[in-house]
Chain A
Amino acid sequence: MTAIDPTTSLIAETPRIPRRWLVYMGRAVLAVALVLAWEAGAQSFGSVFFAHPVDVVKRIGEIAASGQLLTDIIATLRVSAFGFVIGCSVGLLLPFLLRHSERWTAAIEPYVMASQGIPKYALAPWLILWFGIGDTPKVVIVTLMVVYIVFITTFAGIRSVDQRLINMARIAGASETAVSREVIWNSLLPFFFSGLKVAMPRAVSACIVGEFLVSTDGVGHYIEHARELSDTTGVFAGIVVATALVLAINMIVEFLERRALRWRPVERDMEI
């Protein structure tokens, strides 16, 4: 009779290939599959409906070499960033101000929610009328896209703050400012970052759609210009650039999130 050794039966073996690498391999396989599907689409529908991946890569190489890629990316990032920062600031500040008055909150909230229903892009002609054809109308649209998301997630964060922690901080002698900065800010950070991750790609998309309507440069301008010329490869190249842009910004947001929330318990299995 053999005794069962509890250490071997209970503790799972360490996988031979680290989990991290399995995830990377999975991603690579998916990427290859997507490119192959794309190529298959191009083969069966023709390059007018579906640009070949190779052509798209070549095109991106060309506009990168000519400097147009950088100019367009900077233009798009400039507008997105402005709108994003304004939208974030307002979306963050407003809940902090409303926190002190339930009456004001009750009075204002339905208007905030109702104004959310306004189709932002439909405002474009009117915004151009007001602000001309510079960056401003696009910045306004991006701001409007971002502000609601940040406002709603921040408000949810503030409402979820543990009142016991606030009481504890007050008893320890914290001023209202210290309570806001320490307890409320840290409690809502996870909510705020979820909001950022939703808002950020929308800010870039809003900017690109804005550029369809009015622009002289930018990734959206490049796509729209290519569309006018029935240049499918150009449209695809623009879309790939926009996607890459969103991915890159998302990586920055996630990096910041990891740094700000390093106190959070991480489940080992979730970590990659």
Chain B
Amino acid sequence: MGDGAFLEIRNLGKRFPQRQGREPSPWVIKDLSFTVKEGEFVTIIGPSGAGKSTLLNMIAQIDVATAGEIVFQGSTIMTADPKAMRPGLDRRIGYVTQDDNLMPWRTALDNVLFALEVQGRLDDKSREHAAMLMNAVGLSGYEKYYPHELSGGMRKRAALIRTLVYDPPIILMDEPFASVDAQTRTQLQEDLLRLWSLGRKTIVFVTHDIAEAIALGDRALVLTRQPTRIAGEHMIPIPRPRNVKDIFALEGFAALYERIRAQVQ
């Protein structure tokens, strides 16, 4: 694995606690290993029910692993004790979840500023940065809107920059664009790539959409069905900056798509 690893997952295993009077619960994830380099955009493709969210929850420290090890920036962060979990690991791990999870009582801007606020980092400079990000994703003018007044795509954008604004070294994304229409999704993917090109954060992006995984990632990992392991790894040699809309027409896309599809069961 070497020193190139920024995040390393070693033989990770997860089973949920046994319920009384039932068979021991099966392994959701077993012997799962992979590494992520700094500044790398890794996409993870898995069939539904493959434990994708569980995997990210464990990395984000809001769920405990049953076996294995998670090493981040050189130190082991996995713990089996729920009380010892440190969600977000002192703001070093950002997490964009499948649901936007915006706070309905905060306006779009206040949602974006929430992390800075609780971290005590809210000043003119960080406000300016937030305004820049809002502007970059087309949310200018909607600062004072409550989440229920925004469209699904706008909520996704707000949720995305809410995490980008405090600049964690790694960001986990759990099918963040799954519940929007195809056109909005393409736009969100382009937004994400543009924002990513500004900072080149390390991103672990989970999806069930093979085309999305190819369009966004430097490398795509394919997961098996439960108990989840890595079924295969694919480098994505498409040069950046990429045009998400035309990616299907690129040479090599179809072959890559087919190779991945053959592995996804």
Give chain A's interface residues, CB within 8 Å of chain B. 162, 164-165, 167-175, 178, 182-183, 186, 189, 261, 263-265
Contact = CB atoms under 8 A, between A and B. Distances in A.
B93 A171 contact: yes
B106 A263 contact: yes
Interface stretch (B112-120, B191-199, B230-238, B257-265): B112-120
Given A164-B97, A168-B97, A178-B118, A173 B88 contact: yes
Among A168, A186, A189: residue with most chain B CB under 10 A: A168
9 contacts: A164-B97, A164-B101, A170-B62, A171-B61, A173-B115, A174-B118, A182-B103, A263-B106, A265-B149
Interface string B98-110: 0101011111000
Given A167-B87, A263-B104, A172 B99 contact: no
B90 A173 contact: yes
Interface in B74-112: 87-88, 90-91, 93-95, 97, 99, 101, 103-107
B136 to A, nearest CB: 20
Contact of B101 (A168, A186, A261, A265): A168
Contact of A171 (B62, B99, B146, B149): B62
A264 to B, nearest CB: 8
B173 to A, nearest CB: 13
A168 B100 CA distance: 10
Main secondary structure, interface of A, reads helix
B95 to A, nearest CB: 5
B58 interface: no
A167 B105 contact: no
B28 to A, nearest CB: 18
B134 interface: no
Among A173, A174, A186, A189: residue with most chain B CB under 10 A: A173
Contacts of B163: 172
Nearest to B62: A167
A74 to B, nearest CB: 36
A173 B91 contact: yes
A154 B89 CA distance: 31
B166 interface: yes
B97 A170 contact: no
Contacts of A167: 62, 87
B245 interface: no
Given A182-B103, A182-B118, A265-B149, 8 more contacts: A165-B101, A169-B114, A170-B62, A171-B87, A171-B94, A171-B95, A173-B88, A182-B114
B6 to A, nearest CB: 18
Contacts of A162: 101
A186 B104 CA distance: 9
Given A167-B62, A263-B106, A263-B146, A172 B101 contact: no
B60 A171 contact: yes
Contacts of B115: 172-173
Contact of A170 (B87, B106, B107, B162): B87
Nearest to A264: B104
A168 B104 CA distance: 13
A189 B103 CA distance: 13
A173 B167 CA distance: 12
A179 B153 CA distance: 27
B129 interface: no
B37 interface: no
